[in-house]
Amino acid sequence: MRLIRRAAAWLAIAACTAGLLAGCSRASIHQQESYVFGTRVEVLTWDASEEKSRTAVGEVLREFDRLHRAYHAWQPSELTALNSAIAAGRQGIPVSPELAAMLTDAKAIAATGDELFDPALGTLIALWGFHTDTFVPARPDPAQLAAAIQAHPQMADLRIADNQVTSRNPAVQLDLGGYGKGYALDRAAAILKARGISNALINIGGNVLALGSKGDQPWRVGIQHPREPRPLATLPLRDGEAIGTSGDYQRFFELDGQRYCHLLDPRTGWPAKGTQAVTLLITPRANAGTLSDAASKPVYLGGERWRDYAKRYGIDHALRVDADGKIQVTRALRDRLQFGEGITPSAVID
């Protein structure tokens, strides 16, 4: 029996940022770390004073703490209060303008991807044991799982208007875990820019957004190998770009020789199979961080149709590692990647 693991996604980024630090003078680089959203977070700034960097990054880390508390999926928060009200059948539930905007955006992202990205699946996520700080690997009770699937909660069940939420389906239970890290990246970028920080790298457990550059070079990050403790590839990340990965190695448990990951397929209610990992690089646009996080779910769950789902979101830079470990990569991303020793893609597609 193997317990849940969360550290692997950090390794590739950590290896790259360690290299960055090794070649930088202390006067040029500022680094702060914390632990939030159930993962390690790191913010690097380049060529700003120690005082300016520490003040700006401190504000970012406080914002991360606020988001974590406000939208926690199982500890008391605005989100759990909303879930309780939905389950009770209340209509026109008042929410903060921020949560209303997040849900509106998440609903649109879900619709674009055939509801494969579905933050309404909180009940299923809890049944699989991923709503706890003291994880015990176990398969759900079959009857409870069947009932949750039959209820078919989805973001399309929500109506959001005038900072009020109504659900036509009381089975909707919201979990923003597949959205929140990306949203936090965008909030961090906005705070840093407002504080005069033009060159930074923000890393939330392997979801990364870059501002500016590292001197006369772009920031360089890694894509974690889904089955080995090393980067699959590295690439330069340019100003305003974000990169996000969904993989079966990030949060999972093994029971009776079977791997069960946290990425649940809303069509079956079971952990997804057929893909080890997908990585999306989002070129500069509004809410690039959010898209790098949320869009990776339908691309991951899309299986052989992964490229079609990436195109729906206007994403040209994408990579998939299938269940057999074969790497498929779009031509646009292949031109940016430096693969690790002995690693070559099996297919390069447009």
> What's residue 15's pLDDT?
42
Residue 43 has pLDDT above 90, yes or no: yes
* Whether the predicted pLDDT of 21 surpasses 50: no
Token output for 285:
């646009």
In this predicted structure, the answer to whether residue 55 has a pLDDT above a threshold of 60 is yes
Question: 137: burial class by Cβ within 10 Å (0-12, 13-18, 19+)?
Answer: middle
Look at strands 158-161 and 231-237 and give their pairing: unpaired
Cα distances from 225 to residues 13, 247, 283, 319, 326, in angstroms, run 11, 10, 22, 12, 12
Residues 63-119: tens digit of each pLDDT: 999 999 999 999 999 999 999 999 999 999 999 999 999 999 999 999 999 999 999
Helix (H), strand (E) at residue 81: helix 78-87
At 2 the pLDDT is: 40
Supply the mean pLDDT for the chain: 92
pLDDT at 30 over 60: yes
The number of beta carbons lying within 10 Å of the beta carbon of residue 142 is 8
Distance of CA 143 to the CA centre of its chain: 30
SS3 181: helix
Higher-pLDDT residue of 250, 308:
308
| Tokens matching residue 130 | 């991923």
How many angstroms separate the CA atoms of 298 and 275, rounded?
12
* Phi–psi pair at 246, nearest 5 degrees: -120, 130
Among 153, 128, 152, residue whose Cα is nearest residue 142: 128
Is residue 297 within 8 Å of residue 280, measured between CB atoms?
Answer: no
